[in-house]
Amino acid sequence: DSGVTQTPKHLITATGQRVTLRCSPRSGDLSVYWYQQSLDQGLQFLIQYYNGEERAKGNILERFSAQQFPDLHSELNLSSLELGDSALYFCASSAKITGQGKYEQYFGPGTRLTVT
Amino acid sequence: AQSVAQPEDQVNVAEGNPLTVKCTYSVSGNPYLFWYVQYPNRGLQFLLKYITGDNLVKGSYGFEAEFNKSQTSFHLKKPSALVSDSALYFCAVRAASISSGSARQLTFGSGTQLTVLP
């Protein structure tokens, strides 16, 4: 168990809908990362937040947005869903600047999104 | 831009034999390198990392990896494979310098499916 939690585990929704995925990082971790894993695109970085602020952006569509709240949990919002958005969405967190384990990211179990 | 190549989609090895999963990378400046393992319907688990220092790094479950700067490689190895090692393995890289926003992110390879045969 990595200590990163994600809800829900599974989500089935229809095209055009909007969903919210939730992530709680490991205790004390300030950085949260979102990734999308699909068969055709592999594992792709979407966005990173650090202590409530956006820090880096990857291949995130304009229909997708994220935020990190004061309690450090993060939400990924996916709107106007398309069939191609079906994927496994992972959240990861990493430690504060100082201390051991400050470079690697610890992944949650993922949310499997199916768009029908 | 940073990138990772895992040239083998599939690696098969007999139980008890040594295994190697290959990884080469491209990044500006010095790299931070990582290996993760993913079991079916599970998240990625961190195995080991190279940040600096000794080129041979040891990680979880008896795995180790060798950093070779001249060949820009970071191959994952284990002296004696177990059936339970069968899983999907990912190599990842990020630049050591964090001067730019994109440098903080991990870039993953496409993954290598390891199958250990009993």
| pLDDT on residue B28 | 85
> B5 in contact with A at a CB cutoff of 8 Å?
no
pLDDT for B98 beyond 70 = no
Contact A90 B43 (CB under 8 A): yes
Mean pLDDT calculated for residue range B67-80: 97
Å between B51 CA and nearest CA of chain A: 8
Buried b (16+ CB within 10 A) or exposed e, B73-83: bbbbebeebee
Q: Of B117, B118, B114, which is closest to residue B39 (Cα–Cα)?
A: B114
Q: How far apart are CA A86 and CA A83, in angstroms?
A: 6
What are the b/e assignments for B23-43, b being 16+ CB within 10 Å?
A: bbbebeeebbbbbbbbeeeeb
Cα distance between residue A57 and residue A95, in whole Å: 19
Question: How far does the CA of residue B43 sit from the closest CA of chain A (Å)?
Answer: 4
- Phi first, then psi: what are they for A102, rounded to 5°? -85, -10
The nearest CA of chain B is from the CA of A62 a distance in Å of: 18
Structure tokens that stand for A13 in this block: 């929704």
What the block records as the tokens of B75 is 């191959």
Q: What token pair was written down for B1?
A: 């831009």
Contact A40, A103 (CB under 8 A): no
Residue of A nearest to B43 (CA): A109
Contact B86, B116 (CB under 8 A): yes
Ordered per-residue pLDDT tens for chain A, 116 residues: 889 999 999 999 999 999 999 999 999 899 999 999 998 888 999 999 999 999 889 989 999 999 999 999 999 999 999 999 999 999 999 876 555 556 889 999 999 999 99
| Token pair belonging to A85 | 């958005």
Residue type at position B73: S
A4 Cβ under 8 Å from any chain B Cβ: yes
Cross-chain residue pair B49–A43, CB shorter than 8 Å: no
- Does B102 score more than 70 pLDDT? no
Nearest CA in chain A to B112: A42
Residue ranges of A 40-59 with Cβ closer than 8 A to chain B: 42-45, 48, 55-58
Give the separation between CA A95 and CA A91, rounded to whole angstroms: 14
Q: Do B43 and A104 touch (CB under 8 A)?
A: no
C-alpha gyration radius of chain B = 14
Of A42, A37, A43, A32, the closest CA to residue A113 belongs to A37
What pLDDT score was predicted for residue A95?
77
Report the 10 Å Cβ neighbour count for A57.
14
Token pair for B78:
């284990």
Would you call B101 an interface residue with chain A, using a CB distance cutoff of 8 Å? yes
Token pair of B67, please?
């950093």
Highest mean pLDDT among A98-112, B5-19, B41-55: B5-19
Q: For residue B20, count CB atoms less than 10 angstroms from its CB and return exposed for 0-12, middle for 13-18, buried for 19 or more.
A: middle
